[in-house]
Amino acid sequence: MAMDTEEIKKELKDLESQMSQGNFWEDKVKAQAIIKRIGELKDELLGSLKYDKGNAILSILSGAGGDDAEDFSAMLLRMYLKYIESKGWQATLIHENKNELGGYRNVSIEITGKGAYGTLKNESGVHRLVRTSPFNAKGLRHTSFSLVEVIPKLEKNNDAIIIPPEEVRIEFSKSGGPGGQNVNKRETAVRVVHLPTNISVAVSTERSQEQNREKAIEMLKGKLFRKREVDAEREKAGLSISKTTDIEWGSQIRSYVLHPYKMVKDHRTEVEVRDVDAVLESGMIDEFIEAEAKM
């Protein structure tokens, strides 16, 4: 069972008091054990904050809206890639499931840059697009939804999350391009499912099946870590733990309205931006990120 903050502070105070004693180093084995324990306790006080300075994995999953939603996912990907470029970070494709029209059913990228996870983690949630549909001959207004997930990049040897082998189902398939076109005849693409939560991860861009499997397990650990973090926040706020996220009306964190007027509004902070092109085409989302960080 995890210790609460007060217990951690109390033990830290006791151990640091022992360190201040003049005879602390007389027993070197005991002294080194105390120093190690202090480091462990400081990490557990920090919790997920220690990952805020590190890299991130960002995934976008299309929800309700068909071709419009998949096109919206492509728009969001371009927005984030522009933002990543503006920060001087690097983005690497991990997995993509693309349709024939250039939209994405789902797509995942790894973001390498100082503070990537801490900066982008609050982008997680359902995003909503309202516009005149380019896929509808009648030009009707259409609402689409996409889910953004941002998780910390955890290395394969990280013990923050332990996943017993029996809790995982691993599926292999051929890596494919748009329209199901095979770009690799061998079954190198990997999908990993965490059976207790039904959380899944897909990776297809590494050269070998084993590399894809390792990357998928890393991503699954990151997803489970983020879930644990969110569940703890909800419990602390007296809210029930949500088992699933519905990618639909009623659960969105931000709306991008292109018709009948133009505006991007964050529903958590009430920040509104009228220059939609600056947001979607140029990745200018700093105002939203900074406002959410202050909450």
pLDDT tens-digit readout, 32-61: 888 878 776 766 685 556 788 899 999 999
Separation between Cα atoms, residue 141 and residue 259, nearest integer Å: 7
pLDDT of residue 183: 44
Q: What is the CATH number of domain 165-236?
A: 3.30.160.20
Neighbours of 195 (CB within 10 A): 11
Fold matches, 51-153+265-294 and 165-236: no
- Considering only CA atoms, which of 187, 192, 185, 193 is closest in space to residue 173? 187
Q: Per this entry, what is the length of the chain? A: 295
Structural domain 51-153+265-294, CATH architecture: 2-Layer Sandwich (3.30)
- Range from 62-76, 164-178, 228-242 that averages highest in pLDDT: 62-76
Computed from CA positions of residues 69, 75, 81, 86, in that sequence, does the dihedral angle turn out positive or negative? Answer: negative
Q: Any idea which of 41-45, 68-72, 100-104 has the lowest mean pLDDT?
A: 41-45
pLDDT of residue 48: 57
Distance CA 247, CA 126 (A): 6
Alpha-carbon gap, residue 252 to 117, rounded angstroms: 21
pLDDT at 243: 54
Percentage of the chain beyond pLDDT 70 is 86
| Interhelix angle 5-19/28-46, nearest 10 degrees | 150
Single pTM value for the model: 0.78
Question: Regarding predicted confidence, which is higher, 49 or 137?
Answer: 137
Per-residue pLDDT tens digits for 242-286: 554 555 555 789 999 999 999 999 999 999 999 999 999 999 999
Locate the domains of the chain by residue range. Answer: 1-17+27-42, 51-153+265-294, 165-236
